[in-house]
Amino acid sequence: MEKYLEAGKIVNTHGVKGDLKVECRCDDQEVFASLSTLYLKKGGEYIPYRCTKNQPMKHLMLVHLESVDTMEDAILLKNRSLYADREDFDLPEGSYFIADLLGTPVYNENTGECYGKLTDVSNHGAGDIYEITRPDGSKALVPAVPAFISRILPGEGIYLTPIEGLI
């Protein structure tokens, strides 16, 4: 498991004092706003930055990282990803990091048939959608709801109880 997870992407600067506009990659803005330290990746190393401002701004986050104090400093960070230490999150029971689920085999709970591997998770407002890539390369989309997902064992298997025509 990766220690650092992508939490956001710097999409622009804001003002002249080094503030950053960040696209949140967390489940919601409150989760991102709770992070007091964010990391920038340089080479293979993650460099910590204390957040002195971390608040929602419309559909983005307004972030100020300690030592990024000018627009020129901020411009250099545009399009870079921000990371968080997985230990800084308090996941509710039964919740998982998407990074831990990607690549996990997906099985039929009843027959044991392997449908393929989980290759993406998207959310367009109504809930998570799991993208499963089948062995032949075709894709299947499955709503990640208890009616279809019977159990999840990260890295081992995601077990579906499909209805006819789902996969």
Going by pLDDT thresholds of 50, 70 and 90, the confidence category of residue 167 is confident
In this structure, are strands 157-160 and 105-108 parallel, antiparallel, or unpaired?
Answer: parallel
Contact criterion met (CB below 8 Å) for 59 and 22: no
Whether 23 and 79 map to the same domain: the answer is yes
Q: Which domain holds residue 11?
A: 4-88
Instruction: Pick the last residue of a domain from 61, 88, 115.
Output: 88
Compute the distance between CA of residue 128 and CA of residue 35 in angstroms, rounded to an integer: 23
Contact criterion met (CB below 8 Å) for 118 and 106: yes
Compute the distance between CA of residue 6 and CA of residue 32 in angstroms, rounded to an integer: 11
Q: In CATH, what number is assigned to the domain containing residue 77?
A: 2.40.30.60
Whether 18 and 81 map to the same domain: the answer is yes
Compute the distance between CA of residue 106 and CA of residue 109 in angstroms, rounded to an integer: 9
Tell whether 93 is covered by a domain. no
Domain count, the chain: 2
Going by pLDDT thresholds of 50, 70 and 90, the confidence category of residue 166 is confident
Percent above pLDDT 70 for the chain: 100
Q: Report the SS3 class of residue 64.
A: strand
Instruction: Pick the last residue of a domain from 30, 59, 88.
Output: 88
Contacts of 102 (CB under 8 A, 6+ apart): 118, 119, 120, 121
Token pair listed for 26: 């967390």
Q: Is the pLDDT of residue 143 over 90?
A: yes
Whether 69 and 113 map to the same domain: the answer is no
- Residue 97's CB is within 10 A of a number of other CB atoms, namely 14
Average pLDDT rounded to a whole number, residues 10-15: 96
Tell whether 63 is covered by a domain. yes
Whether 16 and 80 map to the same domain: the answer is yes
pTM: 0.81
Residue-wise pLDDT for 102-125, tens only, equals: 999 999 999 999 999 999 998 877
